[in-house]
Amino acid sequence: MKSDIPKALTIAGSDSGGGAGIQADLKTFTAHKVYGMSVLTSITAQNTKKVLGIQNLSPEFIGLQLVAVATDFEINSAKTGMLSNSSIIKSIADQIKRYKIPKLVVDPVMISKSGARLLEKEAEISLKNDIIPLAFVVTPNIPEAEVISGIKINSIEEMKESAEIIKEMGPVNVLIKGGHLQNNINAVDIFYDGDDFYEIATKWIKTKNTHGTGCTYSAAICANLAKGLEVIEAVSKAKDYVTAAIENSFKIGSGHGPLNHFHNIN
């Protein structure tokens, strides 16, 4: 009997502290009542303060994990997170195309909350050429969007300009996350579908506990797409979810604490 439960796949690194990466993604899928599957790309030794070390899995084994999932499970949507080098990116891109993985959300993870580089410098070109063109939605924050688009962003209008440049690289939709503008009034994101711009705003929450925000946001979009929501609704609901998760975040450890992924579950 075929199950009708929505199924989502995360392709990302592991966070031993549990606040970001694969752990955050699977928590977010569960909170959205979506069955979560995973392909592990890297193992990090990290906590709320810093990343102590990174161990990448081989591109061949990463690809094999994706083969294992894609040949046995229906995948309604997928997301990528930490893809640390060009060999890993190319391996994932090849399998995504081979198995026609639908509704791919690409979170172009580059730097951790503590400042550790999670994407090797040489892999930035591969990110732009090999994985972003496959995205149904690509979700850079402002520093990531600056690297990808090549322009400095200090305003909403420059966010829109960056979104237009990134859209030309091939993704279906672009979401520029505006949290780094820190206007202390609203956190405004820009969604661009190639025709229209949408401003998605929620209240600004002043807190140190924001570890895993980008992972959680992209995973929530992925979960909503797996459930069949239209893209703008999927993004809008994900924005509300992650805002509430930040508002109800934890003070765990002595650095940037994690979000409360289960704030919406009674």
For residue 191, give the 3-state DSSP assignment.
strand
Q: Going by C-beta distance under 8 Å and a sequence separation of 6 or more, which residues neighbour residue 76? A: 6, 7, 8, 102, 103, 225, 226, 227, 228
DSSP 46-86: E-SS-EEEEEEPPHHHHHHHHHHHHTTS--SEEEE----SH
Q: Are 145 and 166 in contact (CB under 8 A)?
A: yes
Handedness of CA 263, 215, 6, 70 (dihedral sign): negative
Strand order across the 51-56 sheet: 51-56, 35-46, 7-15, 77-80, 104-106, 137-138, 173-176, 186-192, 197-203
Q: Which residues are catalytic?
A: 177, 210, 212-215
Give the whole-angstrom CA distance, residue 40 versus residue 104: 16
According to DSSP, the residues that pair with 202 across neighbouring strands are 187
Angle, CA 220 vertex, CA 218 and CA 223 arms, to 5°: 110
245, two tokens: 């998760």
73, two tokens: 């499970």
Give the whole-angstrom CA distance, residue 81 versus residue 14: 10
